[in-house]
Structure 1
Amino acid sequence: MRGFDRCVILTLVLFLVLGPIQAASSFGADKGDLTGWEKGSEYNRFYNSSEMDQFKGQVEEIVEVIPLPGMAPGVGLKVKDQDGDMVEVQLGPKSFVNVDSIGLKKGDKVKVKGVWADIGEKEVFMASKVKKSETVELKVRKTKDGTPFWTMTPEELAKEKAGE
C-alpha cells in the first residue's frame, strides 16, 4: 500500500472513530441563555409533577414567553382546547426548545401533558410533552418528576432520549 493510500485510510478511520465522540461531547454542551429556567429556579418550583394533567386542542400560535421578570425568553404555544378556551402552554427556554424539530405549526391538533400553574397573575400550562401524532412528539421534561431536559447533562439527556 502506498503512503497516500495509508494516509487516506488513516484519516477515514480517525474520522469514523473520533466523529461520534466529538458529536456526543458537544450534544447539549452549549445550552444558551437559561436565565430563570435553571434547575431549582423560582419558575421551575411551580411545576408539581403530582398534579399532572393533559388536554387536547389545536395550535393557534407559536409565541415567545417570559414567564417571570428577568427570565430569558422562552417558547410557548397558544392552544385552543376542546372547550374553546385559549391556553398558554409554556415549553421551555428559546435557546433549547425547537418546535421545528417536529414540524409544529398553526392548525396542528395536539395532546399536551404537563401541569397547571398560576404564574405572574395568569393561569398557564407548563408542558412536559406535546404530542402531534402517535409517532411525533416533543418532550421537554421528564414525565415522572418534571425535571426539565434543558437542565440535564449531555449524558443524562442522551440516556433519556434513548429510553423514548
Structure 2
Amino acid sequence: MATKKTATKKKTAAKKSATKKAPAARKKLATKKTAKKLPVRKKTTKKKALTPGALTAGAPAENPRAHALARKMANLLSDKKGVDILLLDVRGMTSYADYFVVASGESDRQVSAMAEHVLTKLKEDGLRPIGHEGMETGQWVLLDFGEVVAHLFFTEARSHYDLEGLWADAPREKVA
C-alpha cells in the first residue's frame, strides 16, 4: 500500500507542478507570437501614362470644351452688362473645376438677372448646372457647370471675398 500512496503523491505533485508552470509557459508562447514581425509591404509607384494633350510633365491637360464654355459664359455675362469679367484657369490647382468665371454687377437685381440669363441660354444649348446658389439674395451667385464654375458678385461683395487674390497664381484672361 505504501507504493500506491507514493505513486498517487507523485501523480498529484506532477499535476500541481504542471498547473503552476502552465501559465508561465503560456506567457512565453504569447510573447513569442506577438514578437513576430509582419511582412513589410513594398511601396508601389504608379507610372503616369503620357497623354497626347499633355504639353510638359506635370502640366494639366488642355480642355478646349471647358475653355469654350467659360468663354461663352463670359460673353453671356457681358450681354447683361456684367462688370470686370475675368476667366481664371485653375487647371492643376483644384480638382473640381478647370475654369472660374468671375464677374460683378452694380446691384443685387443685376447679379440675379445675369445668373438667370446664363442659366436660360445654356439650358437652350442642352447644358444644365450641377448646382446653383445665391439667386435669391444676389450678393454672391455661384453657378456650377462641373468643369466651369461662375462666381457672380455684387461689387462690394467681390472686393470683400477677393477671389482673384485667393487664386493669384492662376493664369487669367480679362473679357470685359
TM > 0.5: no
Tell me the TM-score normalized by structure 2: 0.27
| Greater share of residues in strand | 1
Higher helix share: 2
* Alignment TM-score, normalising by the size of structure 1: 0.28
In terms of Rg, which structure is larger? Answer: 2
